[in-house]
Amino acid sequence: MIVMKFGGTSLEDAAAMANACDIIRSRSKRQPVVVLSAASGITNALIRCAELAAQGKRAEAEAILRDKIIERHYVLIANLIKGLREQDTLIRQFKIYDEELRSLIYGISITGDLSPRVLDFVMSYGERMSTAIATEALRERNIRAELVDARRCIVTNAAFGKAEPLFDATREACEAIIRPRVDQGILPVLQGFIGADEHHVTTTLGRGGSDFSAAIIGTVMNAEDIEIWTDVDGMLTADPKIVPNALRIKEMSFREASELAYFGAKVLHPSTLLPAIEKDIPVHILNSHRPQVDGTLIRRNIAPADIAVKSISFKRSITILNITSTRMLGSYGFMKKIFDIFNEYQTSVDLVTTSEVSISLSIESAPHLDALVRELRKYGELTILRDKAIICIVGERLRSEMGIAARVFSRLRDIPIDMISHGASEINITCVIDEARIPEAVMELHQEFFTAISEPGIFE
């Protein structure tokens, strides 16, 4: 059994969805379980509807629902589904979706309530819509596909907006619902991104969570392989929007891929690999628009390579908090007090550097930044640097390769660096720079490490 996940750009129109269905059919002998995202742009449109409704702009929200969401799916049905009876069945289902969403918009506009719980329920419609159409398209291709509600299979906690899976309950549900269908030769089609808590209330796994859904299902069902189908050829040596000649990485370790995902590589959701690592299930990153390309294979043990750097990634919208206090000098417990504040205000820290009397921390987002800052000021002088970016250089052999740090900072000598982290991880070097300097930094580093590849077999 394998798990196949298709992202929004692989389902954005009739041609893309038909192509995805053909790819699924080509894997039919491997007993696939299919996980689908919403069509590209639909989740954002649903969020916009909810936000406008909360602002009392019901008419504007309903216009987006009609023109950007429902009508777009009607066009998709008309262009993809050939059978008139099947078209009619789907259209009737989408009229129900339309009515339900209009009722939600009305309720939100009256109460002004857009809690994470309500927003999760609104967002769930994107995946429910795409899977309804794709299931029928697969059936027209003589595949015994069956639509399965992921909320019955992926059990989570009640952390709406970024729920975490409860693996024991999820394993039990998947074995009871998905396994019998696979054993009978039925192809289950599930929604990515969504689940439900133990009280059957709809939750989401966070933006980009469809990758995570696929990994969760693959792990609890001991899949042979997890395939993540997207719109690029695999993991690349850099963002192709900045480096057009970026190379495809044929194979990389879980550790390398995890670092890249966490530090900004958009090909993979940061949480995707965590379940797969536990069971050592290979993960393939593949391009649905170019299925003939081998993509990138990610697994625990990879062949040793002579090249130190595998890829360069970056993360935007970083804020640095610098705390200076003479109370740090020779004291203990100071750091714990600082991190207790971050814990209280639910703010994660990316990088930390310290000296005798100061500590610098980088954060990506802080829902309660003003309150966080007020608390931190009690412990010393605080300066805030905004509009920063993290640059991350990743490779399994960074620690053992002599002179890598010198090459990195020599290339970045004309770019001011606010923070450096090297040594905390064996496989990455990270630094913080002005966000506006990202293109320059990435191009310089890519030229340094990938202009003359001594071992071309790793890349393509």
The predicted-structure confidence for 106-157, as pLDDT tens digits, reads as follows 999 999 989 999 999 999 999 999 999 999 999 999 999 999 999 999 999 9
pLDDT of residue 457: 62
**Measured between alpha carbons, how far is 87 from 85 in angstroms, rounded to an integer?**
5
The answer on pLDDT for 456 being more than 60 is no
Confidence of residue 417 (pLDDT cuts 50, 70, 90): very high
The pLDDT of residue 193 is 96
Residue 328: the pLDDT is 65
CATH match for 2-231 among 3.20.20.70, 3.40.50.150, 3.40.50.11540, 3.40.1160.10: 3.40.1160.10
Domain residue limits, the chain: 2-231, 311-458
Burial 382-402 (b: 16+ CB within 10 A, else e): beebeebbbbbbbbbbbeeee
- DSSP secondary structure string, 213-255? HHHHHHHHTT-SEEEEEESSSSSBSS-TTT-TTPPBBSEEEHH
- C-alpha span between 111 and 121 (Å, rounded): 16
Q: Which of 97-111, 237-251, 287-301, 442-456 has the lowest mean pLDDT?
A: 442-456
Task: Provide the percentage of residues in the chain whose pLDDT is more than 70.
Answer: 97
Q: Which one has a higher pLDDT value, 100 or 401?
A: 100
Per-position b or e across 117-152, b if 16+ CB within 10 A of its CB: ebbbbbbbbbbbbbbbbbbbbbbeeebebbbbebbb
Q: What is the pLDDT of residue 36?
A: 98
Rounded to whole angstroms, what are the CA distances from 238 to 100, 231, 260, 314, 422? 43, 15, 10, 9, 20
Q: What is the pLDDT of residue 291?
A: 95
What is the average pLDDT value for the chain, to the nearest integer?
92
Higher pLDDT: 15 or 259? It is 15
Greatest mean pLDDT among 56-60, 231-235, 375-379: 56-60
Report percent pLDDT > 90 for the chain.
74
Token readout for 137 is 């398209």
Supply the pLDDT for residue 329. 62
CATH for the stretch 311-458: 3.30.2130.10
87-109: average pLDDT: 98
Res. 414: pLDDT tops 60: yes
**Distance, CA of 146 to CA of 149 (rounded, Å):** 10
Residue with the larger pLDDT of the pair 355 and 429: 429
pLDDT for 278-337, tens place per residue?
889 999 999 999 999 999 999 988 877 778 899 999 999 999 999 998 776 666 778 888
Average pLDDT over residues 343-350: 89
Q: Is the pLDDT of residue 203 over 70?
A: yes
Facing residues of 3 across strands? 33, 226
User: Is 311-458 in the same CATH topology as 2-231?
Assistant: no
| Top-confidence residue, 316 or 272 | 316
Six token digits for residue 324:
């200076």
Residue 272, pLDDT above cutoff 90: no
Mean pLDDT lowest among 123-127, 327-331, 417-421, 450-454: 327-331
Query: What angle (nearest 5°) sits at the alpha carbon of residue 45, between those of residues 230 and 227?
Result: 15
pLDDT band of residue 374 (cuts 50, 70, 90) is very high
